[in-house]
Structure 1
Amino acid sequence: MTAQLDHQAEQDRIASVYRGWHGGAALARYAWHRPDIVYQHAMRTRVLSRMLASTVGTDLGKIRTVDVGCGTGGFLRQLIDWGATPANLAGTELQEDRLDLARPRSAPGIHWHCGALSTLPTASADLVSAHTVISSVIDPEVRQQLAADMWRVLKPGGWCLVFDFRYNNPRNPHVRKVMRKELDAYWPGHRQQYQTLLLAPPVARALAALPALVTESLAALAPPLRSHFMYMVQKER
């Protein structure tokens, strides 16, 4: 019972943090039209497309996907643009207001679920993804449970996909970095892919007015300045 209460307290904390953040002034730094955000989106898309093609394959039409902490559904819409079938996609969220935004923006047929991942069926997905979700979970036990739930929902032979932070943000105590050794401990898969990407946001914002070649070259030549990673691991058949 104590563990359940601790898990609920962590979920309540996360929901409270995001309710206070979404719609606030801080969102202006992530506006879709900002040059640094445009660059970040392009880089994420390139890495994501390459990783997906080399793991789940280039035909996404039959891939069953669960996106954990799906927000307003951006990742699922990207998959649809690349050929995924809406009826094969599901998004989970702790905040109903995020799903209220996701539904009208997305194709009909996507399954939306407000609540914990633990209620979803075992071995029901070919791909389970989490984008800047694990870093939002501070409690180590709750992180472990989230990872276990993702692995449980994944079919044998399926892939987990994680996009998240490599470093702590000293200005944001509500998130904690995700280390490679954590990921390997969570999921004992036999195939992994890991790539760092994106200039740290303060650096990217400072260089936003310069030609894109400058930021791309710096990101390529100075790996320690890359603040995020993308990771995929396959569950053994």
Structure 2
Amino acid sequence: MTGHNAKHGAEQGAETAAVAARYARRAGLPADRYSLLRPEVWQMVQERQRAMLRLLVRAGLTDLPSLRVLEVGCGAGGNLLELLRLGFAPAHLSGAELLPERLAQARAVLPAAVALHGGDASTLDIAPDSQHIVLQSTVFSSLLDDAFQQRLADAMWHWVAPGGGVLWYDFTVDNPRNPDVRGMPLARVQRLFPQARITHRRVTLAPPIARAVCPLHPGLYPVFNALPLLRTHVLAWLEKTP
């Protein structure tokens, strides 16, 4: 290995280790923080699902069972299960996950036909132009190294087939109480994917507000979410034009 490649490998390994450490620090969060039994959570999920389906229809990707989808940072498999319920075919779904324990959780709940890959997603041997959709959901906001972000973005773009795209969901603003994450404004997304044609919409009521108002009454979620300034996430379709 040359000196340049050794340095590159060391930097990449340092960031993946840092990501694992950041996720480990989240173990202290309440066990039900993301439970669908919580009114703010199911409303966030349903809002995102509706917006995602509208983006896919607008992109002309309506034959869901035929679409090949790879999720980067699939975690315990929740988003892939969601896609299965929406009509995507197990044999056309795959996921990549850095953390072995989360990958094992995904394997335990997903059909065997769903392919799962462990390790650093940016180094996966995925055929170029092979995926109609490459999905990431709140992964990039946990990557604090710009160069690592760009390597992963380049890999994702390499896998996308012309006419397909990256389906992006992440928050846009910094959380001053959590140094392990950073906001991903749309301008940063555009720099990561300079060749993409981007369609986006702001979604998701700011979680601290949602957690405060929804226990009072679930109907307060759409009331507060009607104010665009209170929506903290972007759902975007980054199209690779033929």
Please tell me the TM-score bracket, short chain as reference. over 0.9
> Aligned to 1:128, what secondary structure does the other structure show?
strand
Q: 1:6 aligns with which of 11, 14, 18?
A: 11
Q: 2:172 aligns with which of 160, 166, 177?
A: 166
* Residue 76 (structure 1) aligned with residue 77 (structure 2): no
> Aligned to 2:176, what secondary structure does the other structure show?
coil
Identity, in percent, stands at 34
* 1:83 to 1:219, Cα distance in 2 relative to 1, 3 A: same
Task: Identify the residue that residue 143 of structure 1 maps to in structure 2.
Answer: 149
Please identify, of 204-213 and 43-52, the stretch whose mean Cα deviation from structure 2 is larger.
204-213
* Shift of residue 95, structure 1, vs aligned partner: 0.9
Task: Identify the residue that residue 23 of structure 2 maps to in structure 1.
Answer: 18
Task: Identify the residue that residue 100 of structure 1 maps to in structure 2.
Answer: 104
* Shift of residue 19, structure 1, vs aligned partner: 2.7
Unaligned runs of 5+ in 2: 1-5
Unaligned runs of 5+ in 1: none
Whether the 8 Å CA contact 1:77–1:107 is kept in 2: the answer is no
In 2: Cα distance, 1:98 partner to 1:190 partner: 30
Whether the 8 Å CA contact 2:214–2:220 is kept in 1: the answer is no
* Shift of residue 16, structure 1, vs aligned partner: 1.7
> Aligned to 2:41, what secondary structure does the other structure show?
helix
In 2: Cα distance, 1:81 partner to 1:56 partner: 20
1:57-115 per-position Cα deviation (integer Å, ceiling 9, x unaligned): 22111111110000011111111112211111110000111111111211220000001
Task: Identify the residue that residue 41 of structure 1 maps to in structure 2.
Answer: 45
Task: Identify the residue that residue 87 of structure 1 maps to in structure 2.
Answer: 91
> Aligned to 2:191, what secondary structure does the other structure show?
helix
Please identify, of 205-214 and 137-146, the stretch whose mean Cα deviation from structure 2 is larger.
205-214
What TM-score comes out, normalization by structure 2 length?
Answer: 0.91
In 2: Cα distance, 1:25 partner to 1:172 partner: 12
Number of equivalenced pairs: 235
The one-letter code matched in structure 2 to 1:30 is Y
* Shift of residue 154, structure 1, vs aligned partner: 1.0
* 1:187 to 1:21, Cα distance in 2 relative to 1, 3 A: same
In 1: Cα distance, 2:217 partner to 2:62 partner: 32
Task: Identify the residue that residue 187 of structure 1 maps to in structure 2.
Answer: 193
What TM-score comes out, normalization by structure 1 length?
Answer: 0.93
Whether the 8 Å CA contact 1:160–1:232 is kept in 2: the answer is yes
1:109-152 per-position Cα deviation (integer Å, ceiling 9, x unaligned): 00000012222222221100100000000011111111111101
1:141-200 per-position Cα deviation (integer Å, ceiling 9, x unaligned): 111111111101111221101100111111110111101111112223453211111111
> Aligned to 2:37, what secondary structure does the other structure show?
coil
RMSD (Å), alpha carbons: 1.6
> Aligned to 1:113, what secondary structure does the other structure show?
strand
> Aligned to 1:31, what secondary structure does the other structure show?
coil
Whether the 8 Å CA contact 1:191–1:234 is kept in 2: the answer is yes
* 1:165 to 1:38, Cα distance in 2 relative to 1, 3 A: same
In 1: Cα distance, 2:30 partner to 2:8 partner: 33
Whether the 8 Å CA contact 1:123–1:154 is kept in 2: the answer is yes
* Shift of residue 56, structure 1, vs aligned partner: 5.0
The one-letter code matched in structure 2 to 1:156 is P
